Amino acid sequence: MLLDVLVLAAGKGTRMRSDLPKVLHCLAGKSLLGHVFSSVQALDNAAINTIVGHGKELIQEAFANQSLNWIDQTSQLGTAHAVLQAIPALRDDAKVLIVYGDVPLIKSSTLEKMLSGVDDDAMALLTVELVDPTGYGRILRNTAGDVTGIIEQKDAAPEQLKITEVNTGVMAMTAADLKTWLPKIDNNNAQQEYYLTDVIGLARAAGRHINTYAPEAVEEVEGVNSRAQLVALERYYQGQIAQNLLASGVTIIDPSRFDCRGELDPGQDVLIDINCIFEGNNRLGNGVVIGPNCVIKDATIGDNVTIKANTVIEGPVTLEDDVQVGPFARLRPNTVLGRGAKVGNFVETKKAKIGPGSKISHLSYIGDAVLGSEVNIGAGTITCNYDGVNKHLTEINDGAFIGSNTSLVAPVTVGKNATVGAGSTISREVPDESLAIARAKQRSLDGWKRPEKK
Ligand code: UD1
Ligand code: CA
């Protein structure tokens, strides 16, 4: 059967106290709505419709690169009113799944389970037992255990408030049923809102069975209404990622001090020390060791690479096998370090291809550069790549030795096995196997007397 998904995201999110629409706030580097989309996009044959109101332009802009169907709800008169706006978009022979844009951790496996409980005779409802059910709609059941309705907190009698099984808001039914029931819902309740939860009574009246399902974990159905709830869910989610990595053979020294805000695909026997942050897409080979306080984004890292403390990688960056980086190194986009290369402390690289076995051990800037193999760059070497208008290339060939405190004024080439004397400013080609020295000659004045104090 076809599946029409409705994502409700028109609400304001007042309690976030933010200019950003609530569903665009990020959890693990991805917007709340982005998480929901990922879950529903994994379902078979799903057409996704998102109901938007507050912050609509910003939300649509954030997902401009995806083909999604947006539906306007210009005033927010309740969850049933939100769904009503989507009626024209629903296909008659589809199942409809309703989820909330601010419930980010809902799993597609849970949704699939629910959808299996929808047919012409039944609808499905996701409920959960909460120790503190305050604020949620309570699930009403008869003595036979069948669901008979949902009562909102503000409409509930004292004994109903004691019920701990609550409505998660996630439900599914046939489009035919939803289309029949929705227009019948009124707003005669404490909040004068059109409650989607009223479909339960209508489903009962139509003789439908209400199949209920529970998520694997409560956090799957927790909504984000405040920043406190957002960071609590973030910690839960990070904990899950860390546990999965531990199970896959990665040592994370302290799972409570680990953050993955993207993808991390590790080999075996990887060790990650405390306070590391991974962003974007990262692939780590076997035996990779990452020291504390590293920030790593979009890196492809080979086997047995060591990244020492406080290194920042802003990819795309590729580190081949046996590379060593850091401590305190900064590798910027389009850095490629060949096998066994070494980049040490206070070195910045950008758009730099560095050949196998080459070393830049300390205090250097290497940008717009191509280095061959076994090149040695002395401390304080700078590629002067920018003339104020354009960027130029520095080329240093195999086996070259660049003395400390050298400025390489690009475009410039240093030949194979050439040597540059310390303190040189190199602005012309250095031929293969030669020595270039470009610095003021030293003078010594004999018997020099220091000035005396007057
Ligand atoms: C709703 C449920 C409640 C459930 C709870 C779970 C109803 C009447 N109540 O209550 O039973 O326990 O969720 O979190 O459905 N929205 C719109 N347009 C609107 C109103 C809401 O798009 O006019 C969206 C909001 O952006 C949000 C979602 O619907 O994503 C839920 O709305 P909210 O007002 O938070 O519902 P609750 O009162 O929490
Ligand atoms: Ca809510």
Q: Decide: 80 and 6 in contact? Cβ < 8 Å.
A: no
Query: Rounded to an integer, what distance in angstroms lies between the CA atom of residue 425 and that of residue 438?
Result: 6
Residues 21, 162 within the same domain: yes
Do 241 and 374 reside in the same domain of the chain? yes
Residue to substitute in 79, 98, 219 for testing ligand 1 pocket (most ligand atoms within 8 angstroms of CB): 79
The stretch 246-256 carries a mean pLDDT of 97
Q: Closest-lying ligand to the alpha carbon of 195?
A: 1
Question: Residues 214, 232: one domain?
Answer: no
34 lines ligand 1 (CB under 6 A): no
Average pLDDT over residues 96-122: 98
pLDDT of residue 61: 98
Q: Is 81 in the pocket of ligand 1 (CB under 6 A)?
A: yes
CATH number of the domain that 393 lies in?
2.160.10.10
Same domain, 361 and 295: yes
Which residues are 125's β-sheet partners?
171, 212
Looking at the predicted structure, is the pLDDT value of residue 1 above 90? no
The overall average pLDDT reported for the chain is 97
Q: How many CA atoms lie within 13 A of 231 on its CB side?
A: 4
| Residue 353 counted as domain residue | yes
Determine the pLDDT at residue 177.
Answer: 98
Whether residue 215 sits in one domain with residue 243: no
Same domain, 146 and 289: no
Say yes or no: 99 and 158 in one domain.
yes
Q: What residues make up the domain containing 396?
A: 227-436
Residue 120 falls within a domain, yes or no?
yes
pLDDT confidence tier of residue 112, bands split at 50, 70 and 90: very high
What pLDDT is stored for residue 354 in this prediction? Answer: 98
- Ligand 1 lined by 149 (C-beta under 6 Å): no
Distance 18 CA to ligand 1 centre (A): 19
Q: Is the dihedral of CA 104, 219, 148, 79 positive or negative?
A: negative
Q: 54, 209, 362, 392: which is the annotated catalytic residue?
A: 362
Residue 23 has pLDDT above 90, yes or no: yes
Domain count, the chain: 2
- Ligand 1: atom nearest CA of 77 is 23
Q: Percent of the chain beyond pLDDT 70?
A: 100
124 Cα–ligand 2 center, Å: 20
Does ligand 1 have an atom closer than 6 angstroms to the CB of 281? no
Shared domain check, 130 and 7: yes
- Is 451 inside any structural domain? no
Are residue 214 and residue 231 in the same domain, yes or no?
no
| Beta strand 165-174 pairing with 122-129 | antiparallel
Task: For residue 231, give the nearest of 101, 59, 110, 104 by alpha carbon.
Answer: 104
Domain for residue 305, yes or no? yes
State the average pLDDT over residues 192-221: 97
CB of 315 closer than 8 Å to CB of 301: no
Q: What is the mean pLDDT of residues 413-438?
A: 98
Do 83 and 211 have their domain in common?
Answer: yes
Ligand nearest to the CA of 79: 1
Residues 240 and 337 placed together within one structural domain of the fold: yes
Assess whether 184 and 292 both reside in one domain: no
Whether 223 lines ligand 1, by a CB cut-off of 6 Å, is yes
Instruction: Check which CATH number belongs to the domain holding 37 and give it.
Output: 3.90.550.10
Q: Measured between alpha carbons, how far is residue 93 from residues 24, 108, 178, 184, 448 in Å?
A: 32, 22, 12, 21, 100
Ligand 1 pocket check for 82: Cβ under 6 Å? yes
Q: Is 362 a catalytic residue?
A: yes
Strand-pairing partners, residue 165, are 129
What is the reported pLDDT for 67? 87
Position 382 in a domain:
yes
Confidence band of 446 (pLDDT split at 50, 70, 90): very high
What would the two tokens of residue 72 be?
């306007």
Q: In this structure, is residue 450 part of a structural domain?
A: no
CA of 103 to the centre of ligand 2 (A): 9
Find how far residue 18's CA is from the centre of its chain. Answer: 20
26-66: per-residue pLDDT in tens? 999 999 999 999 999 999 999 999 999 999 999 999 999 99
pLDDT, tens digit, 9 for 90 and up, residues 283-342:
999 999 999 999 999 999 999 999 999 999 999 999 999 999 999 999 999 999 999 999
